[in-house]
Structure 1
Amino acid sequence: MRLVIIGGGILGTAHALAAVGRGHEVIHLEREVEARGATVRNFGLVWVSGRSANELEITLRSRRLWEEIGGKVPGVGFRPAGSLTLVRTEAELKVAEAAAGNASAAERGFELLEADKVRALNPALRGTFLAGLHCSQDAAVESRQALPALRRYMESTGRYQFFAGTEARTISNGTVTDDRGRAHTGDLVLVCPGAAHTGLTRELVGDMPVRRVRLQMMQTAPLGENLTTAIADGDSFRYYPGFQGPELDRLNAEEAQSFVAAQHKMQMLCVQRLHGGLTIGDTHEYEEPFNFDVDEAPYEYLTGVVEELLGRELPPVVRRWAGVYSQSIDPGTIVTRAQADERTWVVTGPGGRGMTLGPALGEETADLLNL
């Protein structure tokens, strides 16, 4: 078959990878010269630890796919570094203990480590904390270099073409007309618009059960030492369904977040890039219209948390940014798939799980459409 895929972010690229892997031909359109949305404005984390029980199977499958992809395409920068969620209060420790004792703990690779064992695993952590919930299944890829590397890999098959700086204007009977008047015809058209819920997406399928979420993040200069795992703080328990239970209820009742953290719906996540710098975030904003500028208070708060856990000053911050991703609001779905006509589908809404679940979602769509 020949597929036309619109959208060059992780979801569009993962669908292209699944199709090419099954022997199909792909024409791939991206309106920017290079994807600039949530795909490159993220941590690059393949995050198993906090996923709900209903999502665990597909998350572990995606983790395995990323490892396979990393073996074939070294440029994606896959590394099975794991993560440590560092707890600083007794209430947070109770949540970590419950997670380590959960029935799915072995699948997630959970182990609760005392502070000295945390430091042995990740010597860069010389600060203040009680313990750390280790997740050996968590991993990372280099979000800013993964997609170009995957495209080069697909181009080497001779069955993939990427049209950068090309905006799809109309879709009719399997033919996509772009903003240069060129026609791209396929047996199937997949539209992966990311957070672009209006325009062509709305013309095709109307309003979908998705919302947009805005976040803020930052990047430091090289740390000068290895951060051997990704790290998170206890506030991250509040945002991941895998930690729900009476212990989390007590944490939320007994320990309110700081004013800044609560105001910006914050958690601390931190991962080291291959160049040595740290990507640190993040915030959550759900009500539109979103601000076009970034707020300084969350950055100051995040800096303080990371410095407390590292026991040292951070290197200089070299860049700050905001991003927007698409999130399904249907609690029973991970991603929203809407059929526009017999040959056209729209796929979006993985929320902050796009990088984690991209490969598995691409394979799942291929199975659903009998590719």
Structure 2
Amino acid sequence: MTTTLDDTDVVVVGAGIAGLAHALACARRGLRVTVVERDDRAVGASIRNFGSIWPIGQVHGDDWSDYERGCRGADVWRTVAAETGMWIADTGSLAVARHADELAVLEEFLAQGGPAVERGARLVTAAEVVDLSPAVVPDEVVGGMFSPTEVNVDPTVGIPTVARWLAERHGVRFVWGALVREIDLPRVRTSAGDLRCEQVFVCSGADFQTLYPELWGPDVARKCKLQMMRTVPQPGGWDLGPTLCAGLTLLHYDSFSRLSSLGALRERMADELPFQREHGIHVLATQTASGAVTIGDSHDYAPTHDPFEKQAVFDAILDYFDGFVRLPDRRIEEYWHGVYPSLVDGTPHLVAEPEPGVRVANGLGGAGMTLSFGLAEDHLAGRVGPRTALAAATTDHA
């Protein structure tokens, strides 16, 4: 016997950050929203990350649209924190330059101007780097870049907080532990019963092959596996300060990818850090609500991954981390891996309309915490249109 759940205007499939963001954008338009999540709580990539809202890394194309989406996303996170009391660190980010070629990349990035500079990104001296964060090792620091737009949340706290906030403040209904079996509008069939609705947003993260698998051929998407770790809580209320990164990160993010000065840095890193480059390692450090420091990460791209973490990858991450960061207590308390879909052609997200009334929004790579709120708003406002196919890979995002 089929159980029929209450009617709703919109069904969102997936309670990760992309699904929560689309639920918010719909609820703000006065729509009745039901989120269906196959697990009892969000356990995927949305909680297995740094919690860093990182606009400074989000430039794709020439219009800086993803940088602005990231800034709008940071504002939503600030709103959630203000209305719920959720912990948030509104401390910006600090890119540490330890070599002249790293400083040259930062100088070129800032010299090109644009919204990041308009919002306060600036070059800082070696002495200012050390003043901004007590964690930075002062030896050989030659300068850096401070950006005020980045914020940090604890994802293990932040994602469930957003879900509760959506339910309590915006009337969003959640159906947990239910699998969406079929979408045949106006009916959505789930393992908990059928829903009737007018529109569906599919935001299923790494589970992108269950619904509309024809969108996700091998020339469109692959899975990225990352390895991360977290220290014990730091003693005495010690504060990391800004989110920290260094030279390897400049090779990872779109915002730096077109700079002419990047070539010299890439060559040196290939010679000095071949293992890190082979395993897509770049190193960020963020802090959680408990005071623990999250450290990572690596990037391994394949259609299917084995379930095992590699100790050599963790060691390589820590080896680079120790070169520019010192903590009062670096004992590692947790290790994990995460998996998310990454688009082969390097574009930052996929929005598709496989049939009338159904939109798929996925493939945000490692930028879901940053881009999802802005992307969802643009999606509903018609500023992001669907596409049905993607080109073959031409970009190396290791």
Q: Same fold (TM over 0.5)?
A: yes
**1:167-206 correspondence runs (5 A):** 167-180=179-192, 182-202=193-213, 205=215
Alignment partner, residue 231 of structure 1: 244
The match for 2:75 is 64
CA distance in 2, matches of 1:112, 1:263: 30
Deviations 1:59-89 (A, max 9, x none): 22323333333323332x3332111111211
Match of 1:149 in 2: 161
- TM-score normalised over the length of structure 1: 0.92
| 1:259-283 alpha-carbon deviations (Å, 9 max, x no partner) | 3202211101110111011111011
Contact 1:127 1:307 in 2 (8 A): no
Structure 2: 5+ residue stretches without partners: 1-7, 385-398
Does structure 2 conserve the Cα–Cα contact (< 8 Å) formed by 1:210 and 1:336? no
Deviation of the 1:358 alpha carbon: 1.2
Cα separation, partners in 2 of 1:132 and 1:284, compared to 1, 3 Å: same
- Residue number among 112, 117, 126 corresponding to 1:102 in the alignment: 112
Q: Give the alignment of 1:352-367 within 5 angstroms.
A: 352-367=366-381
Q: Where do 5+ consecutive residues of structure 1 fail to align? A: none
Kindly indicate whether the alpha-carbon contact (under 8 Å) linking 2:95 and 2:246 is maintained by their aligned counterparts in 1.
yes
2:222–2:303 CA contact under 8 A, matched in 1: no
Asked if 2 retains the 8 angstrom alpha-carbon contact of 1:15 and 1:362, the reply is yes
User: How many residue pairs align between the two structures?
Assistant: 366
Comparing 348-357 with 313-322, greater Cα deviation is found at: 313-322
RMSD over equivalenced CA pairs, Å: 2.2
Which residue among 16, 23, 47 is the counterpart of 1:40?
47
Letter in 2 for 1:339: E
2:382 aligned residue (353, 368, 371): 368
What SS class does the counterpart of residue 33 from structure 1 fall into?
Answer: coil
Which one of 240, 243, 247 corresponds to residue 253 of structure 2? Answer: 240
Map Cα deviations across residues 111-162 of structure 1 (whole Å, 9 max, x no partner).
2222211121212324432222111111112211122212222222473211
Question: What code does the residue aligned with 1:133 have?
Answer: M
**In the alignment, does 2:317 pair up with 1:302?**
yes
Q: Which has the larger displacement, 7-16 or 255-264?
A: 255-264
Partner of 1:154: helix, strand, or coil? helix
Deviation at 1:348, TM superposition (A): 0.7
1:140 aligns with 2:140: no
Q: Offset at 1:369? A: 9.4
Separation in 2, partners of 1:159, 1:25: 8
Moved over 3 A (4+): 205-208, 311-314
In the TM superposition, what is the alpha-carbon distance from 1:354 to its structure 2 partner?
0.5
Q: Alpha-carbon deviation of 1:212?
A: 1.7
Q: 1:369 to 1:130 in 2, by over 3 A?
A: closer
Contact map agreement 1:127 1:310 (CA 8 A) in 2: no
Q: Residues 255 and 168 from structure 1, CA distance in 2 versus in 1: closer, same or farther, beyond 3 angstroms?
A: closer
| Corresponding position of 1:320 | 335
CA distance in 2, matches of 1:133, 1:145: 29
Aligned-pair CA distance for 1:352? 0.9
Q: Is the 8 A contact 2:69 2:371 kept in 1?
A: yes
**Counterpart secondary structure, 1:322:** strand
* 1:193–1:201 CA contact under 8 A, matched in 2: no
Equivalent residues of 1:168, 1:178 under 8 A apart? yes
Residues 310-354 of structure 1, C-alpha deviation per residue, up to 9 Å, x if partnerless?
A: 3457421111111111223345x5321221222222211111110
Tell me the SS of whatever aligns to 1:193. coil
Counterpart contact for 2:73–2:370, Cα < 8 Å: yes
- Which structure 2 residues correspond to residues 4-153 of structure 1 after superposition, within 5 A? 4-52=11-59, 53=62, 54=64, 55-75=66-86, 77-104=87-114, 105-128=116-139, 129-153=141-165
1:283-302 aligned within 5 A: 283-302=298-317
Q: Distance in 2 between matches of 1:339 and 1:221?
A: 45
Given that residues 15 and 359 in structure 1 are in contact (C-alpha distance below 8 angstroms), is that contact kept between their aligned partners in structure 2? yes
Correspondence list, 1:156-167, <5 A:
156-157=168-169, 159-167=171-179
